[in-house]
A and B are shown apart, each in its own frame.
Chain A
Amino acid sequence: QQQVKQSPQSLIVQKGGISIINCAYENTAFDYFPWYQQFPGKGPALLIAIRPDVSEKKEGRFTISFNKSAKQFSLHIMDSQPGDSATYFCAASKNRDQTGANNLFFGTGTRLTVIP
């Protein structure tokens, strides 16, 4: 069962436009929501992350919007650039269990293409 659902699967945006990727979750125990950027043949790199105590977090051109009641969060990329073309994954993790494990549950990924 997919614990974090992500959409769309692929996205094409014109240079300068806004890219929006959405994720939804069911488990209310999740308390950490990161977004990762992955280029082909490379490992994921953390882009930005948010915790449920805030509804929005902005870092440069990247913004996470978080809706706790709807159990949804989204990534907005402002002024999208061709260099932003990559696959983006949302993820979630919950409070550590007794073993201290902090497993990340990943969304299915969104392939973003920014057209010059």
Chain B
Amino acid sequence: GAVVSQHPSRVICKSGTSVKIECRSLDFQATTMFWYRQFPKQSLMLMATSNEGSKATYEQGVEKDKFLINHASLTLSTLTVTSAHPEDSSFYICSAENRWTRVFRDEQFFGPGTRLTVL
């Protein structure tokens, strides 16, 4: 399989500050990257989908201005949580896929996740 990394793995910030999370595909080009949010003992909730070089598509109920997504290259996507509040505390996970590859068609490769705690 392919490798996806996330940075940082953990972040603690004060309420009102902005936090940037990076997602990188290390050994393949990601045509699409996905951002998920996971609360304790719950399933993954898709927040948004981004294709390289174009605007992200957000799921219903996800605030575009609060969760800024940039997919500037085929190996990097960033999620910025702006003006973070305690209710934004969660586990954020990215995944990446290359839709053109035959070997891993339809397969999403997940990063290790970022634990965000807003005080």
Tell yes or no: A58 within 8 A of B by CB: no
Q: Is the interface of B mostly helix, strand, loop or mixed?
A: strand
Question: Which residues of the other chain, B, contact A46 by a CB distance below 8 angstroms?
Answer: 1, 107-110
Q: Count the A residues whose beta carbon is within 8 Å of the partner chain — how many?
A: 24
Given contacts A32-B106, A93-B106, A96-B99, contact A101 B111 (CB under 8 A): no
Q: Is the interface of A mostly helix, strand, loop or mixed?
A: loop
Tell yes or no: A42 within 8 A of B by CB: yes
Question: Which residues of the other chain, B, contact A34 by a CB distance below 8 angstroms?
Answer: 107
Given contacts A43-B93, A96-B99, contact A103 B110 (CB under 8 A): no
What are some 9 contacts across the A-B interface (CB < 8 A)? A34-B107, A43-B6, A43-B95, A43-B110, A43-B112, A49-B106, A89-B43, A100-B32, A102-B108
